[in-house]
């Protein structure tokens, strides 16, 4: 049985060709490419090489039209963006499929509003992603990780993912060894991809009633290397790889919370 | 033949039992998925595979051409014993229904022997019988297609089809022909020869429920038909006698029933 997300089947078809290419040539499997960093054009090429990343999520109309690849695109009008000022309502763009997270936007939506980070105009900044690089996995691999995460999601896990952020952080800090959480970076990123459209599937469970922002922070913080700090650039880059473009405010907010989660895991893990 | 069939059935039953036991672990109530799904894990990327099994030879067209200029080409009705089969492979799983690997397969030594069956041109017998022991090593590139996975099905049980091509080194030991009258035997040297090989097959992969933080593990039960080219002995007499016009040779075809363990080398 599969969890059917919108456009999943279409995405799987789109993933075939990209998978073959990435499978043949990405011998290091998303990790340690570009020395563990994604840098400007290096990101652009790898991203376009597996252009189903966003599309596979199925939450965007077209996963291929990532006008952000060259970073010099004129598609995103800054003037329009500033009018939105990252309000939740505005960021939805009136299209019914846009971002619901603090001004983030579907990366394929050329009419997207929301203020792009200043660094976005120059492409992806040079940042250390570490194991977050697995976000570049082909769409069907993320799909499988997503299904696997749900397949293993137990009552015990639900109790943790239902906690407010501060309590979750405290648990991670003090009871990490006994917590049952999703620790696979790929599964966390698959769930992050799911949540980036504004709603996490975990919240469809009666046992989980959490804010989407909290869940995203836990997913990103849980996916990250314990020792590599999560910056707004990190959050922006990962969301972009997953097919969503976050505003500067959204990137900063997500990074701040995710960094707190990462630090708590580091402390709890010892 | 009946013994072979029984052995094959026993082996398959054993393999199936092991697979089912491995693939259907008892899951405690509180460990069940709240989403009520049971899917495989991410196995994308490189993998290692080891297989063990039983090879059932289906040698045919066994024949030799004796040294006499007027001797006919003599064909044999060969009977063979089953042999062990083993294989190791390194491959890549694209997790879109396709995967491929390069394998080194070993087919255990098989003693094939039998009386003459017919001659070309037809000349009344009796003629000599033959006996030889042959083993094979094959280097194959094999592609696998899992139709359900290709359609987006993520379940832990995936049937597959396979097609392989490669090279086989057929190693025939010293071979013997035995006169029908008087049982006089004459031996000839063995020989190794390399020939093209191909295979087709099918099977089922069972993925063991992955434990947290552990590498996925897949059990494969499969059948493959191998055409390993022609196995051929040498023409040099070991003690005395003349060299035959054509040494004993046969088409090396084998049915293989195997159980394999596939271990993805990446952990996500």
- Which of A2, A134, A155 is closest, CB to CB, to B154? A2
Evaluate if residue B204 carries a pLDDT over 90.
yes
**How does residue B40 score in pLDDT terms, banded at 50, 70 and 90?**
confident
C-alpha–C-alpha distance, residues B265 and B268, integer Å: 10
pLDDT value at residue B15: 56
Question: Would the CB atoms of B41 and A12 count as touching at under 8 Å?
Answer: no
Mean pLDDT, all residues of chain A: 68
How many residues are given for chain B?
268
Would you tell me how many other CB atoms lie within 10 Å of the CB of residue B120? 11
What's the CA dihedral at B190, B192, B196, B201 to 10 degrees? 70
Question: Would the CB atoms of A150 and B210 count as touching at under 8 Å?
Answer: no
- Which of B37, B42, B152 is closest, CB to CB, to A186? B42
Mind telling me how many Å the CA of B194 is from chain A's nearest CA? 30
pLDDT in tens, B47-92: 999 999 999 999 999 999 998 888 899 999 998 889 999 999 999 9
ipTM score of complex: 0.74
pLDDT in tens, A25-36: 343 445 443 333
Contacts of B265 in chain A (CB under 8 A): none
Note if the bond before B126 is cis, omega within 30 degrees.
yes
**First-last CA distance in chain B:** 47
Q: Which of A14-18, A228-232, B152-156 has the highest mean predicted lDDT (pLDDT)?
A: A228-232
pLDDT value at residue B99: 97
Mind telling me how many Å the CA of B243 is from chain A's nearest CA? 51
Would you tell me how many other CB atoms lie within 10 Å of the CB of residue A46? 20
Evaluate if residue A194 carries a pLDDT over 60.
yes
Does A189 contact chain B (CB < 8 Å)?
Answer: no
Question: Would the CB atoms of A2 and B95 count as touching at under 8 Å?
Answer: no
pLDDT in tens, B94-108: 999 999 999 999 999
pLDDT value at residue B16: 52
pLDDT in tens, A117-172: 555 555 666 788 888 988 888 888 999 999 999 998 999 999 999 999 999 999 99
Name every residue in B having a CB less than 8 A away from some CB of A: 30-42, 44-45, 92, 94-96, 98, 152-155, 210, 212-213, 266, 268
Q: Which of A97-101, A182-186, B170-174 has the highest mean predicted lDDT (pLDDT)?
A: B170-174
Mind telling me how many Å the CA of B29 is from chain A's nearest CA? 9
Contacts of A151 in chain B (CB under 8 A): 33, 35, 37-39
* Mutate which: B32, B33, B209, vs A, most A CBs within 10 A: B33
* Mutate which: B100, B149, B156, B268, vs A, most A CBs within 10 A: B268
pLDDT value at residue A4: 42
Is the whole model's pTM more than 0.80, yes or no? no
pLDDT value at residue A7: 37
Evaluate if residue A16 carries a pLDDT over 50.
no
pLDDT value at residue A131: 86
C-alpha–C-alpha distance, residues A73 and B103, integer Å: 48
- Which of A1, A154, A201 is closest, CB to CB, to B31? A154
pLDDT in tens, A91-102: 333 333 334 444
pLDDT value at residue B13: 55
Q: Which of the two residues, A264 and A134, has the higher pLDDT score?
A: A264
Mind telling me how many Å the CA of B23 is from chain A's nearest CA? 15
Contacts of B214 in chain A (CB under 8 A): none
């Amino acid at each position: 049985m599969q969890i059917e997300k919108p456009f999943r089947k279409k995405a799987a078809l789109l993933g075939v060709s990209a998978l073959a290419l990435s499978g043949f040539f990405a011998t290091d499997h998303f990790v340690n490419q570009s020395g563990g960093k994604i840098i400007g054009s290096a990101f652009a090429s790898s991203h376009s090489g597996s252009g189903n990343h966003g599309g596979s999520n199925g939450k965007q109309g077209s996963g291929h039209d990532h006008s952000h690849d060259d970073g010099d695109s004129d598609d995103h009008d800054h003037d329009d963006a500033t009018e939105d000022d990252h309000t939740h309502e505005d960021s939805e763009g009136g299209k019914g499929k846009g971002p619901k997270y603090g001004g983030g936007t579907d990366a394929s939506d050329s009419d997207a509003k929301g203020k792009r980070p200043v660094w976005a105009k120059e492409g992806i900044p040079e940042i250390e992603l570490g194991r977050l690089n697995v976000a570049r996995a082909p769409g069907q691999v993320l799909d499988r990780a997503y299904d696997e995460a749900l397949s293993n999601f137990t009552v015990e896990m639900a109790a943790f993912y239902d906690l407010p952020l501060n309590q979750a952080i405290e648990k991670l800090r003090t009871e990490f060894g006994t917590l049952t959480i999703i620790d696979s970076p790929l599964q966390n990123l698959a769930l992050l991809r799911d949540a980036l459209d504004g709603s996490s599937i975990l919240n469809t469970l009666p046992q989980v009633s959490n804010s989407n922002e909290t869940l995203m922070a836990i997913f990103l913080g849980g996916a990250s290397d314990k020792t590599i700090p999560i910056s707004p650039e990190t959050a922006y880059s990962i969301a972009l790889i997953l097919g969503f473009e976050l505003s500067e405010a959204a990137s900063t907010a997500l990074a701040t919370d995710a960094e707190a989660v990462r630090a708590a895991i580091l402390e709890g893990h010892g | 033949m009946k013994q072979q069939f029984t052995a094959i059935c026993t082996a398959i039953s054993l393999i199936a039992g092991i697979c089912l036991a491995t693939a259907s672990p008892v899951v405690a109530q509180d460990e069940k998925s709240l989403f009520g799904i049971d899917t495989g894990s991410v196995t994308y990327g490189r993998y290692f595979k080891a297989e063990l099994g039983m090879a059932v030879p289906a040698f045919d067209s066994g024949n030799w051409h004796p040294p006499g200029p007027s001797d006919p080409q003599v064909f044999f009705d060969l009977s063979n014993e089953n042999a062990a089969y083993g294989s190791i492979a390194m491959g890549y799983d694209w997790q879109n229904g396709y995967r491929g690997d390069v394998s080194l397969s070993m087919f255990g030594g098989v003693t094939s022997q039998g009386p003459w069956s017919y001659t070309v041109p037809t000349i009344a017998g009796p003629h000599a019988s033959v006996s030889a022991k042959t083993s094979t090593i094959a280097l194959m590139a094999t592609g696998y297609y899992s139709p359900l996975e290709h359609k987006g099905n993520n379940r832990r049980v995936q049937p597959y089809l396979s097609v392989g091509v490669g090279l086989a080194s057929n190693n025939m030991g010293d071979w013997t022909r035995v006169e029908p009258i008087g049982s006089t035997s004459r031996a000839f040297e063995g020989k190794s020869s390399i020939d093209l090989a191909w295979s087709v097959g099918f099977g089922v992969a069972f993925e063991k429920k992955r434990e947290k933080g552990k590498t996925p593990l897949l059990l494969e039960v499969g059948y493959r038909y191998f055409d390993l080219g022609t196995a051929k002995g040498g023409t040099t007499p070991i003690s005395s006698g003349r060299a035959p016009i054509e040494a004993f040779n046969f088409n090396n075809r084998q049915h293989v029933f195997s159980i394999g363990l596939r271990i993805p080398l990446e952990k996500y």
